[in-house]
Amino acid sequence: MIHPSAIIGDQVVLGEGVVIEENVTIGDHVTIGHHVVIKKDTQIGSHVEIADLTVLGKNTSSNKKMARKPGKQLGPLLIGDHVRVGCNSVIYRGTTLESGVFVGDLSSIREHVTIGEDSIIGRNAIVETNTTIGRRVTIQTGCYITADMIIEDEVFIGPCCSTSNDMYMGMGNYEHQGPIIKKGAKIGNNATLLPGITIGENAIVGAGTVVVKDVLNHHTVVGNPSRIIKK
């Protein structure tokens, strides 16, 4: 089903069962896989590939227990030129994927997120709301990127890393702040980052580390709790 208001460019290949809701725009030389759902207002650039069974432009939802209520009207999902999105993924309204971004299969990106040019979001990775990711960042498979994070350019986050943004674990209306990861830092697989910590420029966090305090520029930490092994 293609809504008659959709604007679709030249040389666009649409799979079987694609749903395009109202007010969608798609550039030239775009490939959309089978059973993809493109929700209303989504804007897709040129030379983009969206794989099968993916949802673009989902709106937020909540139940009465959730602290963070859906806010005011979200803008559209904006997808830049040359973006690739895998199968069975879900990307929300109000988010921007800049040109050349790669999003793997089975991943999910919430609203109010910006992902910079040529960055990689691995398969099965989750990015929560209100997080900014720079250019040429690698977020590997299975990472959990919490809300309210800042990830600068050229950061590398290994597989299955976990972050958090609520020191009080739902106990009250405290301000939430995710980790801040400065330019060029590298995080090993399955590391755990506590709320609000800063990982400095070009710092290294070893695999499996539980990072309980800030890591200075160029320092290396390992262990549970994290301890410095190189300055």
Sites for its own copies among residues 125-144 (CB under 8 A): 126, 128, 136, 138, 141-142, 144
Min CB(46)–its own copies separation in Å = 15
Query: How many H-runs (helices) and E-runs (strands) does the chain carry?
Result: 0, 32
Is 146 a residue that touches its own copies (CB under 8 A)?
Answer: yes
Pick the binder of its own copies from 19, 74, 150, 216 (CB under 8 A): 19
Min CB(129)–its own copies separation in Å = 11
Q: Which of positions 20-59 make contact with its own copies (CB under 8 A)?
A: 33-35, 37, 49, 51-53, 55, 58
Pick the binder of its own copies from 29, 47, 123, 183 (CB under 8 A): 123
Q: Write down the residue that tokens 């030379």 correspond to.
A: 47
Our CB check for its own copies shows the closer of 9 and 15 to be: 15
CA distance 231 to 228: 7
Is 87 a residue that touches its own copies (CB under 8 A)?
Answer: yes
Q: From residue 190, how far is each of 53, 129, 163, 177 by CA, in Å? A: 28, 21, 10, 20
Is 210 a residue that touches its own copies (CB under 8 A)?
Answer: yes
User: Which residue type occupies 186?
Assistant: K
What character string, x for contact with its own copies (CB under 8 A) and - otherwise, covers 159-198? xx-xxx-x--xxx--------------xxxxx-x-x----
Our CB check for its own copies shows the closer of 42 and 89 to be: 89
Is 69 a residue that touches its own copies (CB under 8 A)?
Answer: no
Find out whether 48 and 83 touch, Cβ atoms under 8 Å: yes
Phi-psi region at 189: left, alpha or beta (left = phi > 0; alpha = psi -120 to 50): beta
CA distance 75 to 3: 19
Pick the binder of its own copies from 120, 149, 151, 180 (CB under 8 A): 120
Min CB(225)–its own copies separation in Å = 7
Is 101 a residue that touches its own copies (CB under 8 A)?
Answer: yes
Is 151 a residue that touches its own copies (CB under 8 A)?
Answer: no
CA distance 76 to 49: 18
Contacts of 45 by beta carbon, 8 Å cutoff, 6+ apart: 27, 79, 80, 81, 82, 83, 99
